[in-house]
Amino acid sequence: MNKKKLKHFEQRLMEEREKILREMGRFGDSFQFNLKDSSGDLSSYSFHMADHATDSEIQERAFQQMSKEGRLLYHIDEALRRLYGNNESYGRCESCNEPIEESRLDLVPHARLCFKCKSQEEHG
Ligand SMILES: [Zn+2]
């Protein structure tokens, strides 16, 4: 992969990273809000799952969401490490060692497997 492409995917990874950090901040805030005032009026709050859920459900979902975001953040950091590393491992499939499709990397810049290996993993 040439420098220009690596730069492009570095940019994509950074964008994803910032997006996740913003998401995590948002969920963190609403979680604190729920802890502080569990009987408070949620209508002014933008937390869309608050509509019919109880406080414990909201907290549980916030936790699930956070761990999902946390895992994603981990994968993005790993991808950045591969990208900054000198062994050209970024964009290469961990399973078959072939280059990962660039159209796939555009959608999932932290992808570790090519499309073929990914679908094999998902189906068995
Ligand atoms: Zn592969």
pLDDT value for 64: 74
Give the distance (Å) from ligand 1 centre to CA of residue 122. 13
Give the distance (Å) from ligand 1 centre to CA of residue 2. 20
Give the distance (Å) from ligand 1 centre to CA of residue 119. 10
For 110-118, the CB contacts below 8 A with 24+ separation are 110/13, 110/16, 110/72, 110/75, 110/76, 110/78, 110/79, 111/79, 112/75, 112/78, 112/79, 117/93
Report residue 76's pLDDT band, with 50, 70 and 90 as the boundaries: very high
pLDDT value for 27: 63
Mean pLDDT of 61-77: 84
pLDDT value for 31: 53
pLDDT value for 43: 45
Task: Look at 22-36, 68-82, 90-104 and tell me which has the smallest mean pLDDT.
Answer: 22-36
Distance CA 34, CA 88 (A): 45
Give the distance (Å) from ligand 1 centre to CA of residue 116. 6
Percent of the chain with pLDDT over 70: 77
Give the distance (Å) from ligand 1 centre to CA of residue 124. 15
**What mean pLDDT value characterizes the chain?**
81
Report residue 73's pLDDT band, with 50, 70 and 90 as the boundaries: very high
